[in-house]
Amino acid sequence: MIIKLASMAALAAFTVLPHDPLPDLAIGTPLPAADKKMKEVGGKEISLKDAVGNNGLLVVFSCNTCPFVVGGEGSDGWEGRYPELGAFSQRMGVGMVLVNSNEAKRDAGDGFADMQARYKEKGYTGSYVLDAGNVVADAFGARTTPHVFLFDKNLKLVYKGAIDDNVGSASDVKEKYLEKAINNLVEGKPIDPATTRNVGCSIKRAATDHKH
């Protein structure tokens, strides 16, 4: 498994490019960029606040090109779990938004038309939005694809990190971190762990944002 992940990381250019320091959201932080409008694959402009459910909001920074999302090299990737995760979130009264912030790869698989096609092909649920200029990713301090952030109904951060403990095989997952966090959120129980290590490709931010 370690070898597979190392190979995937190499394929994905896992290096983080120079960038202004990103924030590291603490648990309890209010939802960043809540009112920023982004283009959704259906064509309308929505904000994260527009997508909040009765019990909260799940924000997943994702893309169409990262092996940790789409799979490869013997790995399932996390993308195949998105439809089930979206349906589960909906049942639990939690809105879900997938955010594509790969501004530097809009002409290499992460453009708006690519997002529309992937949403349909892979059976995504919830909203899939284009974060122009990676503004929302920067506000969150999102670093990888995927990188998940769960907020309660008061729009306070309650969980951040990974979806589960096994990107390589959905059937071998032992710890469903995010599902457990959503369950505990809805049931009013403490979320533990509230933070896990996000694993994935670096978000490909716009070159104009880099400091040289």
What is the average per-residue pLDDT within 206-211? Answer: 54
pLDDT for residue 20: 61
pLDDT for residue 21: 84
| Average pLDDT score over the chain | 90
**How far is Cα 42 from Cα 173, in angstroms, rounded to an integer?**
32
Percent of all residues in the chain with a pLDDT value above 70, rounded to a whole number: 88
Q: Token pair of 79, please? A: 């993308």
pTM (2 decimals)? Answer: 0.89
Res 15 pLDDT > 70: no
pLDDT for residue 73: 77
**Domains contained in the chain, number:** 1
Contacts of 159 by beta carbon, 8 Å cutoff, 6+ apart: 27, 148, 149, 150, 177, 178, 181, 185, 191, 194, 195
H or E element that contains 177:
helix 177-187
Nearest by Cα to 101 from 149, 53, 154: 149
Range of weakest confidence among 9-18, 36-45, 69-78, 161-170 = 9-18
pLDDT tier at 74 (50, 70, 90 boundaries)? confident
Nearest by Cα to 151 from 196, 99, 200, 186: 186
Q: Is the dihedral of CA 35, 37, 38, 44 positive or negative?
A: positive
pLDDT for residue 4: 47
Res 208 pLDDT > 60: no
**How far is Cα 16 from Cα 204, in angstroms, rounded to an integer?**
8
pLDDT tier at 174 (50, 70, 90 boundaries)? very high
Q: For the domain that residue 145 is a member of, what is the CATH number?
A: 3.40.30.10
**How far is Cα 70 from Cα 77, in angstroms, rounded to an integer?**
5
CA count, 13 A, side-chain hemisphere, 73: 17
pLDDT tier at 207 (50, 70, 90 boundaries)? confident
**How far is Cα 52 from Cα 56, in angstroms, rounded to an integer?**
6
**How far is Cα 53 from Cα 50, in angstroms, rounded to an integer?**
9
Omega of the bond prior to 193 within 30 degrees of 0, cis?
Answer: yes
* 96-154: pLDDT as tens digits: 999 999 999 999 999 999 999 999 999 998 999 999 999 999 999 999 999 999 999 99
Res 13 pLDDT > 70: no
Domain that residue 152 falls in: 2-209
